[in-house]
Structure 1
Amino acid sequence: MTTKSFYLLLILIFVSFFSKAQIVNIPDANFKNALVNEPVAALFVGGGWQDVDSNNDGEIQASEAENVKWLHLDNFNIGYGIVSMIGIEYFINLEVLNIDFNEVINLDLSQNSNLEVLSCRHNEISVLNLSQNENLTDILAMYNNIAFLDVSQNQNLDFLECHNNLIEELVLGNHPLLTNIQAGDNLISNLNISGCPSLEYFSIPINQLENIDLSTNLNLTSLDCGQNNLQSLDLSNSTNLYQLLCYENQLTSLVLPNSESLAYIHVRGNQLSQLDITGVPNLNFLSCSDNNLINLNTNQNPLLTELYFYKNYISNIDLSNNLDLTAVWGHENHLINLDFSNHLNLTEILVNDNYLQNLNISNYNNNSITKFTAFGNPNLGCIQVDDEIFANEQVCGDLTDFPYFTGWCKDTIASYSEFCELGVADFSIPNIVLFPNPATYTLNIQTEQKIDSVRIYSIQGVLVEEFLQTKQIDISQLFEGVYFVEIISDGSSTTKRFIKS
C-alpha cells in the first residue's frame, strides 16, 4: 500500500467515525429530553417504543437519529410542550412523525424525504412546506395558523386534514389516490378538486366558496359544504353519495342525483324554492327548513324517519307514504290539515304557527310522543288524540328552550278530543287583504263582505283584542311581533297573519 493510499484510508476511517459520532444540535430542551429519556421512537414500523439515545450518553448522534422510523412526540405522550423542531432534519429515514398538541411555530421537513405520515395537529405552525416529501400518504395539520398549503407534489396522498386554519389558498393538483379531504373552517374561496377522482369524503364547511365542480368526483360518498356562499350545486353525477350537508348557503338551485345510495340530506338555511327528492328512494333524513319551499313531495321516500321542513311556505304535505317517521318539524309554514293517525313511530311533532284547521295525532301510540307543539293555530279548535285524559295531563315544557324541550303545547282555544269533527275550509271569506303589513298604528281590512267581528291572537294563540263591525283596527297598543287576525262574517271566518312593527 502506498503512503498516499494509507493516508486516504485513514481520512475515510476518520470521516466515517466522525459522522457516526456527530452530535445533533437540538436547542429545544423539551424536544431533546423526549428523545433522550422518553420512549418516543420506534426503529421499525410496528416496533417497540424506546428512547433515541441508544448509547445512553445523554446526546443524540446522527447515527442514532438515522435509525428511527417512527417518532411519537404528542404532548399527551411526553407531557410537556415542544416549541422548536430544529434537529428533526437528521432523522432522514423517518417515516411517521407525530407532534400533536405542542407549540411548534416552524416545521422544516425538507430533509425528511422518506416521511409517509405527518401529524402536527394543534400547534402554531404558520408555514408548512411539504414539497420535498413526495412519499406522504397522510397529512394531519388541523388547528394551526397555516395561510397557504400546497400539496400538489405529494402524489401518494390519501388523507388530508387541514381544517381550522387560516388557509386562503389550498393547491391540490392531481391526486389519483386521495380519498379524504377535511378542510373546513378556513378562508378558502376557490378550490379545484377535479384532479382527485378517488375522492370519497369531502368536508369543507365554514369557508367562502362561491362554486364547486364535483362532476369528476364520481366516488364521492360524503359531502359537507355547509356555511359557504354557494348559489347552486349540481350533484347529478354523484350517484354514490350517501350524505349531503349543504346548510346555510345561498342555494337557489340544487340538483340531486338519481341514486339509491343517498340517505341523508341537510340543506337548511338556503333560498330554495323547489326541492326534488323523488330520485332518492332510500332517503332516511331530510332537513330543508328555512328555505322558500311552497311544495314538498315525499311520496317516493318511504324510508324517511326524520323530516324537518319548518320555516317555509308549504300549505299541504302528503305524508301517507312515510309511515316510518319518528320526528316531524313543520312549524312556521302555511299548513291547514295534518293527519298522523297511521304514523305509529312518532316521538316529535312540531306544527306550531301554521294555519291548521284539522290535526289528528291519534296513532294508538301517544305515550311515545315526548315533544308536541300546535300553538299559534287560531283556527284549530280540536286536536284528535288517543286518550283525552292522557293528553290533558301533558304539560307544556319551557318554550324558551324551543325546539329543544319536552312536553305538549297548544293554544288555549284548542281542546284535545278522541273524536274531532273536520273543519270546513270552504266557508272561509274570499278575497281578503290586510294592509299595510307590517303595520304600526292601523291595520286595514279590504273585503267586499260585511264584517261581524275581528279577533286578534298572539302567536301563542291567546286572544288579545276583539273588535266589532269594523274594517279598520287600532293596533297601536300592541307590542311588536307576529299576530293572527281572525275575521268573521256571516258565519264564515278567515285567519291572516300580520306583523306589528
Structure 2
Amino acid sequence: MKTKLLFLILFLSIESHILNAQTFDDGTFQFEAINSYEAYITGSLAGCPTGEITMPGYADDGTNYYTIIGIADNAFSNCTGLTKVTIGVPEGAYYIGNNAFSNCPNLTEISSPYAYEAITIGDSAFSGCSSLTTINFSEVIDELGAYAFSGCTSLSEIRFSDFLITIGDYAFNNCTGLASFWIEKAIPIAINSTVFNGVTISSIPLIVPYGSVATYQATSIWQDFSPIVQSTFNDGTVEYKLISLSEVKVLGGASGCPTGTVIIPETISDSGNTYTVTTIQREAFYNCSGISTLSLPNSLTFIDNYAFAYCSGITSVALGTGLENIGSSAFNGCSSLTSLTLPDSLTETDTGVFSDCTSLTSVTIGNGLNSINDFTFQNCTSLTSIIIPNSIESINTLAFYGCTDLASINFGSGVTTIENYAFASCTSLTAITIPDSVETIDSSAFRDCTSLSSIELGSGITTINSYAFRNCTNVSSVTANMITPTSITSSVFWAVDITTIPLTVPNGSLTAYQNATVWQNFNPINEQSTLSTNIESLETVSIYPNPATTTINISSSQQISLIELYDLTGKRVLLKREANLIDVSTLSPGLYLMTIQTNTGQVTKKIWVK
C-alpha cells in the first residue's frame, strides 16, 4: 500500500513534466490516467464548482475503465463557492494532493462515507478552509501533511484512529476553534511543537485509548493537553466508550458476557468525569445467553443492530422512556422474552427487531411509531393478540409472518397499507376487520391463515393484490364495505372456494358486485339490511350538535362499537368503529339516519347536515 502511495505522490509532483499524459473527462470532472486502470481527478471541467459536489470512485474514457485513486495538487484550490465535498473512494489507498482544497472559505464538510483504507492528506490540502466543521473520514487518515488544516478556525473536533502514523508541522496551525482532539493510538506519535501553533491546547481535552493516559501525560507536546482522558472504561460489569465529552455508548460486558440481571445506568463516571449513557453498540451483548433480566435507562436513545440478538435467557426487558431508535435484529432470537412495552418515544425501528422471540405473548406498541417494519415480529409463535395503535400507517412485509398463535388483531384507525406477507401463516387467526383507513392489502398479506373464517373489508380499500387471502380455506363469510367493488383477480382468493361463501355488500351496491369480476362468484351476495325510518329511542345515547355542519359528537354511558350513517335512499355513506366523533363536512346538506351500536343495544336517530 505504501509503495503505491509513494508512487502516486511522486507522480503527482512531476506531472507537469510528463509528455503526452492521457487526460479525459466525464462531462463534470477532468481526469488524468497514470496507467491503463488508475487515474486521479485534476479538477472540474467548468472551472471551480459551487455548492455540493460528489466525486466519482470510477471513470472511463470510452476505452478503459479507471479506479480513481486520488485528487491532484491544486485541483480545487481557491474554489470559494464550494460548500460540501463527497469523495467516492472505491477501494485501496487514496491521496488528497497538496493544496487540493486550499482557500475554499465556504467549504463546511468533506466526507467519504465508504472509505475504509488509508487516506493520505497532502501539504496544505485544506488550509484556509475557515468554515470547515466536518471531516467524516478522519479515522482512516494515515499521513497528515504540513499545514494540512492550517487556518481551519471552525474545526472544533477531529478524530484519528490507529491508522495515523505522521502529523506534519503546522498541521493544525491557528485552528482556534478546536475543542477536543481524539486519537486511538496507544503509543503517542512524535510531533513538533509547531503542529498546534496558535492553539491553546492546555484547555483542550485529549481523548486517548484505554490505559494510555499516563503515556500521553509523559510525552512532549501531548502532555500539554488538559484534561487527558481515556476513551473506554468499565464499571466491572459493563464496558463503555466515549461518544462525546458528555456521552458514552455501551460496548458490551466488561469481561465477556455478563449473567443474571443487567442494569445499564443513566449516568456513569470515570476519573472524575460523569457521562450520560445514550447508545448500545452493535452486537454489544450478542449471544449472551446468561442474561436473565435487562433494564435500560431513560437516557438511552439508540440500540444498534444485533445488540441483544440471541440472548436466549432474557425473560424481561425494561426499555427506557427516551428510546428513539432500535436497530436491525436488536432482540432477534430472544426466545425467553415473554412481554414487551415499546415506549411512545420510539419513532423508528429497523427490520427484524423482535423476530424469533418465540415466548413473546404480549406486546404493547407505543404511539410514536408510524410503521411496523419488515420482519419485526416474524415467528413470534406465542403472540396471541396485538393492538395496532392509531399512529401506525403501514404494517410492512412479513411483520407478523408465522405468528402461529395470533388469534386477534385490533387495527388502529391510521393504517393505510398492509404489505406483502404481513400476517401470512398466522394459523390461529379467526376473524379480521380491516378499518376504513386501509387503502392497500398487498400480495399474500393473509396467505395461509387457515383458521380465518370471517373477513370484513373497510370502505376505503382500493387495491387488493394477488394471493392476499390465498389458502384461507376456512373462510365462511366476507363483508365488503367498498361501495364500488375494488378490482381484483382470482388469485386473491387462490385455493378458496368462494362459490360457497356468502358476501355482504353495501346497500345499493348489489348489482355492481354481481357484475364485478371475481366478486360475482361469491354465493349468495346480499346487501346489508335496509334501514327502517322508524326511530327508536335510547336514553343512554346523545348526539350534538344537531343540525351539524362539520362534526358530530356522540356520547353514551355504554361503549360505542359501531356508527353507521345512511342517506334516505338507504345507502350507507359513513362507517366508524369505536368512535365518538364523526366528520360530516363532506356530506351534502340534508336528512340522514344514524345507527349507533353499543354493547347493550342499538339506536337509530335522525341527523340534519346543514
Q: TM-score, normalised by structure 2?
A: 0.41
Choose between structure 1 and 2 for higher RCO, CA contacts under 8 A separated by at least 6 residues: 1
- The structure with the largest strand share of the pair is 2
